Structure 1
Amino acid sequence: MKRLLIYLTAIMLGLSSCEGYLDKLPLNTPSDQTFLATETEMQMALAGCYSALWLNHESMTFFLALDEASDIGYDRNTNALQSLGQGSADATNGIALSYWTGFYSGIAKCNYLLQNMNRGEANVDPATFAQIKAEARFLRALFYSYLIELYGDVPLITQVQSLADSNQPRTSKSQVADFIIKELTEAAAVLPATNNPTSGRASKGAALAIKARTALYNERWTDAISASSEVMAMEGSLYKLEDNYATLFRNEGQNSKEVIFSVQYLVGTNVHALYRLFGSRNALAHTNKKPAYQLADSWECTDGLPIDKSPLFNPKDPYKNRDPRLGYTLAVPGSVFLGYQFETHGDSLKCWNYLTNTRVNNLEATHAYATFTGLCWRKYANVEDRLAINDCEMNTILIRYAEVLLTYAEAKIKAGQIDASVLEAINKVRNRPSVKMPPVTTTDPTQLFYAVCKERKYELSGEGLRLFDIRRWKIAEVVMNQPLLGRMKKSYPDRAPRIDAYGNAFYENIPVANQGESADFKMRVVDKRTFNPARDYVWPIPYIERQTNPSLTQNPNYE
């Protein structure tokens, strides 16, 4: 773009003495008339497209935040995300606005690149040109995939917009899903069949994996099966399950062959604050984002039975004999977390600091803002970040190979194509060396579907997918229409809760403290929630967007 300096110089010199001067282009910055004429400029524009992945909530990667608006998590801060979880959001909700504008900003950058990159096509190697184009199409499709799952029908915009044509109406979710699947199919045909998770660049496998996810969410079973099958065909050469599940969420796991696509962070460029948001009070973090107590009761015992059916479950020692992924996902009482003994019992006034091998005051029992649920998120909370709790640079995984396997299994079940490959896909996830849970053996379609639903909860909790699962399975109206609970302060419940077919816990026969009542020996109500099935399966279209674009309609029953 022409700089003000040019105009000022022209005025000083006089227009007559510099005829044609204003038509010249800046010498040291790109011009909007020629930008994208070189490979360097195209790569710069593409980097701008990727930067939209840094959309965040309170320095928390955008997709991870979504779990706190679902049945498995809670945002302690009084904010727009908390109101979405409570079912009290309206069209002025700040998260609904920031995600809408964030994704459309990313889409606009992609559209600009795609529409104008032909300016420099002759100056760029054809293979490089094609790859840049495919990456931009991948990112645009990815942003649309989140938009349709959060808001339903959204405007499908594929060109740079002028003011005259900016008032675009909403396009049906089905049509946008068709567009996403087509874009990802064509991008996958061009993108390299490589796996370098710390590059942050789109690959063939990433395009196919997001295509499979989008197809699954939109009941395109054939597309979901074919796309996930293509990724599965790369197992061994490019992708494989990580032997140690916990490694995936530590610094040493960022290059794991299980990671298909992740959002990149680097101190000095962009960082997140997951240590502060997830970590314990003892470890000098704030525990702003908390897992629900109900989540801890979801994982099976090591015999493959739910805790209300297994003889291995001991209510007085509830985390013993459980699926190892419980302890990999959550910090539970009795474990070591961020270098400290993690204990939330109200009388546990001292605990061990294993970093210094000393006994210290136990803030988990005494601090007013220690975890209200008796649990912390363990994924992405790493002791290496303890000295820079707001400047964490570990990448966050947007999609990984385990999800692809479960997508394949669910799509095959829904398509009525149950065969040995379905059980193999599920049991690969359950049988990784650090998990070793009993295999699923049923071939009954209903029971096998429930097995996949539970497996997604066991495997993927804390990774930003739960909100979409409870919506598409139409169980949000059940799991979100109950209070989010915390453990009794000085004891555990004396019996197991009821566990339903989806692996969800319900506490009808376990005492729960009323508002203002002591929770020492009763379950604590952490958050009161309601869910209106006639409204809350989608977020509201932001108020300001409808004011500036009268062509936008509102989702049902939002003001």
Structure 2
Amino acid sequence: MKKLIYSVATILLFAQCSEFLDKAPLDSPSDKTFLANETEIEMAVVGCYTDLWTDWEGMPFFLAFEELSDNGWDRNTNDVQRLSQGANDAQSSFVQTVWRTCYSGISRCNYLINNLAKVEGTVSADVLSQAKAEAQFLRAYYYSYLVDLYGDVPLVLETLTLENAQIPRSSKEEVLNQIFKDYDEAAAVLGTTDKPTSGRATRQAALALKARTALYSEKWDVAIAAASEVMKMEGSEVMLDPSFPNLFTYEGQDSKEILFSIQYLFGFKVHPIFRLFGGRNGGGHANKIPSYQLVDSYGCIDGLPIDESPLYDPAKPWDNRDPRLAWTLALPSSGYSDWQNEPGCIFQGFQFETHRDSVKCWNYHTPTPSRVDNQDALNAYASFSGINWRKYVNDKNYGDVNNCDNNIIVIRYAEVLLIYAEAKVRAGQTDASVYTALNKVRSRVGMPNIEETGDELLYAIARERRHELSGEGQRLSDIRRWKIAEDVMNGFILGRMQKSYPTKAPVIDEWGTPDYAAAGIPIASDVNDPNTSMRTVDRRIFNPNKDYLWPIPYIERQTNPSLTQNPNWE
């Protein structure tokens, strides 16, 4: 009884003193007074960007989408791996992370937009307009992932309270309209002069991301219009970088091709991509690796797929290939006719070789090259496919594998050109501008012009997207919207033969997907000889009756019973 009396007395005491205790702090912002001045507005704007850094094992979550596609594989036994195996459910931590990340960012944007009226008249109209535009840009960006992955989602434009938090799903169409509205209003205010390394929203970024969302949603005319506006800026604020590999290095972070990127800075925010993508010799763990199917999807420098090109030599499979193959992926040196003069075989300062008998390799970090044990062949957890990602793996990070601060690209100008080309063709508006846009991307890397027409042109665009953008997080959305996920995500992720290469090319279909069985190339599931068969790294399962949408996270439906579930998910 004494405890109860004491509790009641305490409550009464605090009630009597509330007029003295319920005061806003004098030396920091308060939720009662926040957004009182220009400094606090800037703080709130920066807060809207915070969820861009929500990561999956330390890297931006959208890069994990590569490992959910036929382009790659996640070696860690986690929910990304299980999702790609068709073994996940609505309690997937990755599915929940993406949902919560996006709605956390949306909440921050809504708070800022809804409270700007507090300072009208005391802060300049230009500051208020800029703040709102950046928040609208980011709100649209977060919503674009939600509608792409989950379909219908709650459209929240106000700051929620416990009383109004039970919001049902809105139609994808309604959410898309809001996304386009936010991007349009943001683009009308935002400038074009911020460097990519500023990390702030610009007009070209808003239009480019609007074009991407429109393409993914089959809004062809919207995609064409938005991409066209970005293309009008070419030569001043926007341009293709003369060097494709430069884009993914520290030296390339100021490139005008990069329209929006996630910023990192040593001592404040870093990522471990050198470790996650890197090979064992360089101190990496090869956690996230490309598939061998991706390797063989790249054609030869004559523009033909490897099963048709006379330039393809199965004994030296990397010779005469699309240069983006070696710039995107680390390839074993034995696949070159002259590996010492090829850039692809030096990776993280070591000779890159995954042939299992290659027990020694060259270390180029020493004053003169030295022979060392080859961990990329000897280590049990070296790349299971025999290939590594090269994009974003910078030698500058050697020796400090978890503290990388190179920025991660969200969207760049080459993608805008590919968006424009595809949207024009799908809208039935194929003209010379389609080929101009496509072949700018091709000529930058020395590949011949695309000249196909009709359906073959669409397939050529699809292949071009894969080869230009692989490793950047777009492949999952592409295979889902093209409705080929059920074909490319049912079967094995493959790795190289441990001591050789196939004696002939696999059959390459119109989408650029290799078929080894059709060419009579054995895989380890059929022939138990890893030296003469393709390694089976993992078995993927994709159910077209449910997997084209992710499940609404279980915990979200428990806390908000108004949410319905996507078809065939529990």
Q: How big is the shift at 1:183?
A: 1.0
CA–CA distance in structure 2, aligned partners of residues 254 and 328 of structure 1: 17
Deviation digits for residues 449-492 of structure 1 (CA, Å, limit 9, x no counterpart) = 11110110010000000000000000000000120000100000
Match of 1:319 in 2: 318
Instruction: Indicate the SS of the match to 2:266.
Output: coil
Match of 1:490 in 2: 499
Unpaired segments ≥5 residues, structure 1: 1-9
Amino acid at match of 2:144: S
Whether the aligned pair in 2 keeps the contact of 1:137 and 1:187 (CA below 8 Å) is yes
Match of 2:425 in 1: 413
CA–CA distance in structure 1, aligned partners of residues 306 and 171 of structure 2: 42
Q: Matches of residues 11-22 of structure 1 in structure 2 within 5 Å?
A: 20-22=19-21
Match of 1:542 in 2: 553
Match of 1:437 in 2: 447
Q: Which moved more, 1:169-178 or 1:129-138?
A: 169-178
Count of matched residue pairs: 546
Whether 1:517 and 2:516 are equivalent positions in the alignment is: no
What value does the CA root-mean-square deviation take over the aligned residues?
Answer: 1.6
Whether the aligned pair in 2 keeps the contact of 1:195 and 1:257 (CA below 8 Å) is no
Match of 1:340 in 2: 350
Q: How big is the shift at 1:445?
A: 2.2
Q: Matches of residues 128-527 of structure 1 in structure 2 within 5 Å?
A: 128-334=127-333, 335-356=345-366, 357-432=369-444, 435-442=445-452, 444-508=453-517, 509-514=520-525, 517-527=528-538
CA–CA distance in structure 1, aligned partners of residues 266 and 554 of structure 2: 36
Q: Which moved more, 1:178-187 or 1:514-523?
A: 514-523
Unpaired segments ≥5 residues, structure 2: 1-9, 334-344
Match of 2:41 in 1: 42
CA–CA distance in structure 2, aligned partners of residues 318 and 20 of structure 1: 78
Deviation digits for residues 252-296 of structure 1 (CA, Å, limit 9, x no counterpart) = 000101000000111222111000000000111100000000000
Q: How big is the shift at 1:55?
A: 1.4
Deviation digits for residues 108-130 of structure 1 (CA, Å, limit 9, x no counterpart) = 11111111121112222211210
Q: How big is the shift at 1:24?
A: 3.2
CA–CA distance in structure 1, aligned partners of residues 296 and 437 of structure 2: 25
Match of 1:58 in 2: 57
Whether 1:98 and 2:69 are equivalent positions in the alignment is: no
Residues 422, 14 of structure 1: alpha-carbon distance in 2 compared, 3 angstrom cutoff:
closer
Match of 2:81 in 1: 82
Q: How big is the shift at 1:517?
A: 3.1
CA–CA distance in structure 2, aligned partners of residues 329 and 124 of structure 1: 47
Whether the aligned pair in 1 keeps the contact of 2:283 and 2:399 (CA below 8 Å) is no
Deviation digits for residues 206-261 of structure 1 (CA, Å, limit 9, x no counterpart) = 10001000111111111101100000000000011111100000000001010000
Whether the aligned pair in 1 keeps the contact of 2:271 and 2:403 (CA below 8 Å) is yes
CA–CA distance in structure 2, aligned partners of residues 332 and 151 of structure 1: 36
CA–CA distance in structure 1, aligned partners of residues 523 and 146 of structure 2: 37
Deviation digits for residues 488-516 of structure 1 (CA, Å, limit 9, x no counterpart) = 00000111011111111111121011289
Amino acid at match of 2:430: I
TM-score (norm 1): 0.96
CA–CA distance in structure 1, aligned partners of residues 88 and 38 of structure 2: 45
Q: Which moved more, 1:545-554 or 1:512-521?
A: 512-521
Q: How big is the shift at 1:20?
A: 3.9
Q: How big is the shift at 1:81?
A: 0.5
**541, 546, 550: which is aligned to 1:530?**
541
Match of 2:336 in 1: none
Whether the aligned pair in 1 keeps the contact of 2:137 and 2:183 (CA below 8 Å) is yes
Residues 19, 188 of structure 1: alpha-carbon distance in 2 compared, 3 angstrom cutoff:
closer
CA–CA distance in structure 2, aligned partners of residues 354 and 20 of structure 1: 70
Instruction: Indicate the SS of the match to 1:123.
Output: coil
Match of 1:3 in 2: none
Deviation digits for residues 400-431 of structure 1 (CA, Å, limit 9, x no counterpart) = 00000000000100111111100000000000
Q: How big is the shift at 1:15?
A: 8.3
CA–CA distance in structure 1, aligned partners of residues 159 and 14 of structure 2: 36
Amino acid at match of 1:495: K
Residues 338, 166 of structure 1: alpha-carbon distance in 2 compared, 3 angstrom cutoff:
same
Amino acid at match of 1:229: S
Deviation digits for residues 498-550 of structure 1 (CA, Å, limit 9, x no counterpart) = 11111111111210112893411110000101110001111111111111111
Whether the aligned pair in 2 keeps the contact of 1:195 and 1:239 (CA below 8 Å) is no
Task: Quote the sequence identity (%).
Answer: 57
CA–CA distance in structure 2, aligned partners of residues 406 and 304 of structure 1: 17
Whether the aligned pair in 2 keeps the contact of 1:80 and 1:95 (CA below 8 Å) is yes
Whether the aligned pair in 2 keeps the contact of 1:37 and 1:121 (CA below 8 Å) is no
